[in-house]
Amino acid sequence: MNKKNASNLIKQINELGQSIWLDSLSREMINSGELNNLISTGISGITSNPTIFEKAISSSNSYDSQIKQLINKGQEESADIFNHLAIEDIKNACDLLMPTYIKSEKKDGFVSIEVNPQLAFNSEKSIEEGTELFTKISRRNVMIKIPGTREGMNAIKTLISKGINVNVTLLFSRKMYNYAAKAYIQGLQIRKENGFSDLDNISSVASFFISRIDTKVDQLLDKKSDLRGKVAIANAKLAYQDYLKNFNSKEFKDLSSFGANVQKLLWASTSVKDPALRDVMYVENLIGKNTVNTLPLDTIFSLIDHGIVKNTIEKNLTESSKIIKSLRELNINLEYITSKLLQDGVIQFEDSYKSLINGLEDKFFANKK
């Protein structure tokens, strides 16, 4: 990676109001200096999830010494061992991004960690674990990831009201996105009503997933259909219009006069799955003010190599509306598809979490011998 080219391109994107975050994290990346190097090019945040941690821990021996230490201290539950490992990585990543957080006046430089995905449909337990994680990590620039289920909305509202930063994950539909924006605003209102004057310290992003929508929809379309590879971007552009309404509302303007930050839309799942499509199209078509795009390393390298930077988020809105309307005419139910994707996303993270715990049990017994 050419560091100068990377810095210049990311700077151009930043000037249009978008942050580029890294959708990856590992102990090896931290210890080798690779993460610090990426941050120096302008990468200004990190997202993690159970799948990312499963890959990091299972494919590396970088965690073995800490696992052994934890076992020697009497830790025997794999879930507890995982929490210790993840919290260590998140703390170190937060520290590396703290200068970004300070320089951006608390508007960027965040690191996200997800609550146990098995709690996705349990509001009270999500609140409990989210609060515990935030307290244990003890960094102002950590974000707690809560899945955007109906049960998750109450957890989001409550955590925000407690002054805890939240990343709402697994959003696929505009309806659930709007619930997430409402939960954030309500959480801020409660905090203000409770007498707190620190609204400027609280941040949130709404992680809106992109490529998985095209993967599902394109399976239902004719191979020659003009709609192939277009629905996800259209859906995201219309969600951005919802964002503008939500955060230009009277309810939010009242809060912003007390320092409240907008909840930024974060584009997730933006690596292209279909080889017939341009590999950076989910980045190039969703650049605009108060947005974040979180990318795996391969997509970051592709973007630096041949990405085109323009303010695109509010372009072709009429066409976007027509694309969504065309789905209805074809009897393709986007609401059903996005609802199923949310369920599948939770299951995928649950499976990764279970696999991670099973892998840690293997390491536990290997290190106990």
| Residues designated as active site | 145
As a whole number of angstroms, the distance between CA 159 and CA 27 comes to 28
Strand partners, 113: 144
Nearest-CA neighbor of 130 among 108, 149, 107, 112?
112
- The 10 Å Cβ neighbour count of residue 72 is 10
**Could you give the angle at the alpha carbon of 37 between the alpha carbons of 309 and 100, nearest 5°?**
70
* DSSP-based helix, strand, coil % in the chain, nearest 5: 60, 10, 30
DSSP 319-361: HHHHHHHHHHHTT--HHHHHHHHHHHHHHHHHHHHHHHHHHHH
280 residue type, one letter: V
> Would you call 278 helix, strand, or coil by DSSP?
coil
38 residue type, one letter: L
